[in-house]
Structure 1
Amino acid sequence: MKPDLTLPSSELTETKTESSRRGFLGVAAAGLAGVLIAPGVRLIEIAQAAPKASASAISAGASSKVRWGMLIDSGKCASGCNDCVTACSTENGLSGGTGTTDSQWIRKIEIKEVRTGKIQSLPMMCQHCAEPPCVDVCPTGASFKRADGIVLVDKHTCIGCRYCMMACPYKARSFVHAPQNNQKPDVPRGMGTVEACTLCVHKVDRGEQPACVSACSAAGHGAILFGDLNNPESDISKRVASYPTRQIRENLNLNTGVRYSGI
């Protein structure tokens, strides 16, 4: 089934069918709430007693004065170009495959303007929402948002229930099906957990740009701008203030950290 990426006011719909890589649970979320994960223990009981301290500890170095975000210029994003996808896979130790068991933190999609037939190519990843549905439904607190707006998964407390995958309107999360070998020191991954784009948080915390942004710039495209949305003097804030930008599924009022221009 095609992901619903409709943009109501301009009637944009996705034209590229995305194969389901997620391995969603074959039951409704309401039914999952009562599933036994251990003798006498149910997911609903875990949710009611979910500890929040772990997420707070992980995000201790982040500041609420900053809101990291991206601005993607669809006019500069060429159809068939996968430089950002390749850079993400290389940086984070992903296979680069698109099979049902492969993790893909960023993917290219195409959207079509229904009235004109115009087709545009866009990178799609975790949108780092200010009001992330994945965080709301996580029963253990493993999905969390840092003070600076970056949405992450704590692999130590993720139980692989995949509630967050079903809640994400962008199909941006993947489930790790196989044991992980030769991992990158800065990007811990684990079988049986959920993962998604981290905005290369390990690089951001060192004052560097995410890998996809650097790759797009190095290739001469310059389609992705990264920066602090809270700083009115930052390049991204000036662009957002000066030119029309959109959010994918903006009707959901999630206040995404990833914005698009030219759509």
Structure 2
Amino acid sequence: MKQDKTTPSSDTTDTTDTKTSRRGFLGVAAAGLAGIMIAPGVRLIEIAQAAPVGVGSSPGASSKVRWGMLIDSGKCASGCTDCVTACNTENGLSGGTRTTDSQWIRKIEIKEIRTGKTQSLPMMCQHCAEPPCVDVCPTGASFKRADGIVLVDKHICIGCRYCVMACPYKARSFVHEPLQDQKVDVPRGKGTVEGCTLCVHKVDRGEQPACVSACSKAGHEAIVFGDLNDPNSEISKRVARYPTRQIREDLNLDTGVRYLGI
């Protein structure tokens, strides 16, 4: 439809003012939404202003860092669940045995068929460089940070559980029931998927994941955490010095969790 050439020129000014006012309103609205509570004690604005990753690094996750774990199976005792207990406590998990209970880390027993040798290992999200859970997620809720930590965005997770099926490590859980007494640093939610975060809230403060600290405190020293990209880090030195393995190496996922002695 052609524009009416008899329209007064003042209408242009009115329209511009209206657009400006509308933009101003939307800006205020967006700022207000940033403060909406997404979980007890957690707000979007606080997450956006999260602390830097690691000690001495620039704000935000950096691709210069690749966080990872090295687990020494020779030091991991069968029947010891210190890492599991620490994970449950730190992240507010029930630690229950029902199939519907979330389990971010679990102990498994593996057996060498030829020799019959058995070993006990902790199994959690392996924080793959090429994570299948990210590939299959239809909304982008499953994502990998620049520093290699694989997480789930609870805001856009629709609970389809494609990532649960895609994970070859059975490392993801679905929240079936309403949650009470959540941890401030670990927002969770019914109807969403979750898994090991490498205690990202602690890592971002320059601290060790809870399972690593618990294993060390108990005197086992079976788990080493650090920057795989830093040749001077303890984890990199050990990986370079000893033959380590990745679970399901045939999948070429380049996991951030490595194992020694398997």
The one-letter code of the counterpart of 2:245 is R
Give percent identity, aligned residues only.
Answer: 87
Partner of 2:209: 210
Unaligned runs of 5+ in 2: 1-47, 54-58
Partner of 2:142: 143
Task: Confirm whether residue 174 of structure 1 aligns to residue 134 of structure 2.
Answer: no
Task: Confirm whether residue 118 of structure 1 aligns to residue 117 of structure 2.
Answer: yes
The one-letter code of the counterpart of 2:94 is S
The one-letter code of the counterpart of 1:213 is V
Distance 1:250 1:175 in 2: 26
Partner of 2:88: 89
Q: CA deviation at 1:220?
A: 0.2
Partner of 1:200: 199
The one-letter code of the counterpart of 1:128 is H
Partner of 1:71: 70
Partner of 1:132: 131
The one-letter code of the counterpart of 2:111 is K
The one-letter code of the counterpart of 2:167 is C
Task: Confirm whether residue 246 of structure 1 aligns to residue 245 of structure 2.
Answer: yes
Q: What SS does structure 2 have at the residue aligned with 1:75?
A: coil
Q: CA deviation at 1:165?
A: 0.2
Distance 2:88 2:176 in 1: 17
Distance 1:130 1:73 in 2: 21
Distance 2:199 2:96 in 1: 19
Partner of 1:26: none
Distance 1:70 1:97 in 2: 25
Q: What SS does structure 2 have at the residue aligned with 1:231?
A: coil
1:45-90: per-residue Cα shift (whole Å, max 9, x none)? Answer: xxxxxxxxxxxx7998100000000000000000000000000000
Distance 2:109 2:100 in 1: 22
The one-letter code of the counterpart of 2:123 is M
TM-score, normalising length: structure 2? 0.78
Q: What SS does structure 1 have at the residue aligned with 2:60?
A: coil
Q: What SS does structure 1 have at the residue aligned with 2:244?
A: coil
Task: Confirm whether residue 164 of structure 1 aligns to residue 160 of structure 2.
Answer: no
Distance 2:155 2:180 in 1: 17
The one-letter code of the counterpart of 2:117 is K
Partner of 2:40: none
TM-score, normalising length: structure 1? 0.77
The one-letter code of the counterpart of 1:245 is T
Q: CA deviation at 1:101?
A: 1.0
Q: What SS does structure 1 have at the residue aligned with 2:214?
A: helix
Task: Confirm whether residue 98 of structure 1 aligns to residue 131 of structure 2.
Answer: no
1:217-249: per-residue Cα shift (whole Å, max 9, x none)? Answer: 000000000000000000000000000000000
Distance 1:86 1:98 in 2: 13
The one-letter code of the counterpart of 1:262 is G
Distance 1:104 1:171 in 2: 10
Tell which structure's C-alpha radius of gyration is larger: 2
Q: CA deviation at 1:98?
A: 2.0
CA RMSD for the aligned pairs? 1.2
Partner of 2:33: none
Distance 1:98 1:200 in 2: 22
- Runs of 4 or more consecutive aligned structure 1 residues displaced over 3 Å after TM superposition: 57-60
Distance 1:98 1:204 in 2: 28
Partner of 1:47: none
Q: What SS does structure 2 have at the residue aligned with 1:174?
A: strand
Q: CA deviation at 1:135?
A: 0.1
Q: What is the number of residues matched between the two proteins?
A: 207
Distance 2:187 2:179 in 1: 9
Q: CA deviation at 1:181?
A: 1.0
Distance 2:164 2:97 in 1: 17
The one-letter code of the counterpart of 1:87 is A
